[in-house]
Amino acid sequence: MSPYVLPLIAPFVLILSAGLSWWLSERHSRLVATIAEIAGVLALAVALASSVMLVFLGPGESALFGAAGIGLSTRLDAVSVTMLVLVAFVGWIVVRYSRIYLDGEPRQSTFNGWLTAALAAVLVLVQAGNLSQLAVSWIATSLCLHRLLLFYPGRIAAQRAARKKLFFTRIGAASLITAAVLLTLAFGTTDIAAINAAARNGDAPLLAVSATILVAIAALLKSAQFPT
């Protein structure tokens, strides 16, 4: 098995933590919070180990776990490993802070579940090796963040923010999905490394140029700074 599957362990442990959070529910909220923090530390350790692997083995990608260009694959380079470490580090801090801040709060386990699921989705996103994984993890991140925004559903400000975010998120997701389809048609593959290599060689059909505009729109709408 390729060593480049290592980064996939980080989101896996967080997904496992999310599942345990929802299963144990509020019966064992403090245990759930402890498990979430342990998962956050493990994810950070995997991210740091991935950065060391990049230094010694260089950039690379794993095989696709799936078929027809749809599934899981990891792309490890300077950008992805930087984002892995950054997201895992900030994620661990947020998990630890929420453990203390929400201690004894009703539905604490539910919050931990959606928080670790959101972190897992982002970690899958930043190491995506194919377009289908990129699009699915992008949408999953938005869904998890939407649930976190509505953790206190009775708050008017939270409801307003969630409605605005959901509106722009749907436009951004549609832009990204359309861009992924156009890129697949243009290059005949969903593999991001192959698409990048073809683009560097000057092989950029009109469909690919159109796709880049849609990717930029999706990124803009995903930003918390929108519309500035």
| pLDDT, tens digit (0-9, with 9 covering 90-100), for 129-173 | 999 999 999 999 999 999 998 888 888 887 888 888 888 889 999
Confidence of residue 228 (pLDDT cuts 50, 70, 90): very low
The encoded tokens of residue 66 equal: 């799936």
Mean pLDDT, the chain, whole residue set: 91
Please give the biggest Cα pair distance in the chain.
58
Kindly give the pairing relationship between strand 65-67 and strand 70-72. antiparallel
The torsion angles phi and psi of 223, rounded to 5 degrees, stand at: -75, 140
Which helix (H) or strand (E) segment holds residue 181: the answer is helix 156-187
- Does the pTM surpass 0.85? The reply is yes
> How is 186-215 classified by DSSP, letter by letter?
HHS--BHHHHHHHHHTT---HHHHHHHHHH
Length of the chain measured in residues: 228
pLDDT beyond 60 at 226: no
How many angstroms separate the CA atoms of 180 and 210, rounded?
A: 11
Confidence of residue 206 (pLDDT cuts 50, 70, 90): confident
CA distances from 111 to 18, 95, 217 (A): 9, 10, 30
The encoded tokens of residue 187 equal: 């290059």
For residues 6 and 49, the answer to whether their CB atoms sit within 8 Å is yes
> How is 118-143 classified by DSSP, letter by letter?
HHHHHHHHHTB-BHHHHHHHHHHHHH
Q: What percent of the chain has pLDDT over 70?
A: 97
CA distances from 13 to 2, 45, 116, 129, 156 (A): 19, 11, 9, 19, 34
